[in-house]
Amino acid sequence: METFVMDVERLEELFQISPNGTAPAEKDEKKAAIEESVRTLLLNVGENPDREGLQRTPDRVARMYDELLAGYHTDPVKMINDALFTVDYSEMVIVKDIDYYSLCEHHMLPFYGKVHVAYIPNGKVIGLSKIPRIVDMFARRLQVQERMTEQIADFINEVINPQGVAVVAEGVHMCSMMRGVKKANASMVTSAVRGIFKDDPKTRAEFMEHIGRRRFDD
């Protein structure tokens, strides 16, 4: 197996990743600042942050954001973990129905759905479990679905340099279900295609046909 070398600095710049993380003291300071902000929010919406049900809410919210926004600090080298392999295979590789959960950057409300990813190798393939991890890295940050879709495609394209990459994301957005237009059944589909998927309509159509097939015909 060939040694896997990743230009981390380039990936950091392209995808706003800070893989070195935050020093414990600085992390504690940031958590305390988030907790204080949540207390202020509770007060300003007319609540009492000292009542029993809300006493630990600032701490819970701070820890929640640390989890839901972990994608900013995911180390791509550790995530890939040498799971890049040289193979003599040049047919389409598809991983579909990858569940994701993200936060809309406009209202900080959740949006969630499924991502479907395909690529055609150019001498290298990536471990199967790594593609859902790549999706998580970009979903777990403040996002818009369009940009998330592009980032997943561009990251895979940058890391394994395939003949082509295609990504389709399906999502439902709480900001349009709970507020605004209040359309509970509206969903959004975004796509990003690179290389042969962009240049060859037949390849792109084959991918779309594959992801249109549902396992249980639901």
The active-site residue, picked from 29, 36, 105, 146, is 105
- Measure the CA–CA gap between 43 and 57, rounded to whole angstroms: 12
Strands 84-86 vs 124-126: parallel, antiparallel or unpaired? antiparallel
Judge whether 173 counts as a catalytic residue: yes
Judge whether 116 counts as a catalytic residue: no
The active-site residue, picked from 35, 104, 151, 163, is 104
The active-site residue, picked from 35, 116, 145, 150, is 145
Residue 207 contacts residue 92 (beta carbons within 8 Å): yes
- Measure the CA–CA gap between 131 and 79, rounded to whole angstroms: 10
The active-site residue, picked from 2, 26, 106, 146, is 106
Nearest to 175, CA basis, from 162, 184, 165: 184
Judge whether 210 counts as a catalytic residue: no
Judge whether 105 counts as a catalytic residue: yes
The active-site residue, picked from 107, 158, 170, 206, is 107
Residue 14 contacts residue 137 (beta carbons within 8 Å): no
The residues assigned a catalytic role are 104-107, 145, 173, 175
